[in-house]
Amino acid sequence: KKSARVMKQAVAHLMPFMEAEKDGGREAAGKILMATVKGDVHDIGKNIVGVVLQCNNYEVVDLGVMVPADRILDEAVAHKVDMIGLSGLITPSLDEMAFVAGEMQRRGMTIPLLIGGATTSKTHTAVKIEPRYDGPTTYVLDASRAVGVVSSLLSETEGPRVAAETRAEYARVRESYARGQGNRARATLAEARENALRADFEAYAPPQPSFLGTRAFVDYDLGELARHIDWSPFFASWELVGRFPQILEDDVVG
């Protein structure tokens, strides 16, 4: 919560400067409607994507959070946007995104649909969302990929090719997913019940802890603690793949 508030305050501080630097005579590269779907209040990721797009000369119509499907599509038509971006963090958002895609199909819309958020994935987009909408549907991994995806889809020369390649890729993802589902060995209900855990707590003697209550570590050697930190996950989060400390000697990222 606190980091989200800091992010929003930082964006609010930057927006006037971004608006001031805009070339008044320059036409926007495209207009994108963004919204966090109904039932979900998380928006920091969406806001970051919006800022990144605006920095790259795209006009963003941000509807905020908890936005019903009808309002998303009505506003998209009213603002004549070039594409719709849906965001969500919690699991129910996945079903809501699929519902929005189905509504876009029912209304006969053809503009691209972008899917993003922590719980979303390429597999979910390919299996649950893309089949419900004939228009281009694309999963966006994170904010750093948004501009590339948007620019390619809006390109008159690249757009159709990228959309066709994505559709073919998602078809392969669906096939792979279906094979994985079919190849799983599943026990029958009777077998599962027969294999149920039978715990005998009467004969169980739990181990006793070495102490009860609180124990404070005073004047602990921080240098000794630091020696045991594995920084590999930290570097991996920045896409600097390698084991620590060997990564520090790497010719490329060291």
For the annotated catalytic residues, the residue numbers are 40, 42, 93
In this structure, are residues 29 and 57 in contact, taking their beta carbons and an 8 Å threshold?
yes
Contact 40, 66 (CB under 8 A): yes
* Contact (CB, 8 A) for 123 and 170: no
3-state SS, residue 174: helix
State which H helix or E strand residue 212 sits in.
none
> Sheet harboring 137-139: ordered strands across?
59-62, 31-36, 83-87, 113-116, 137-139
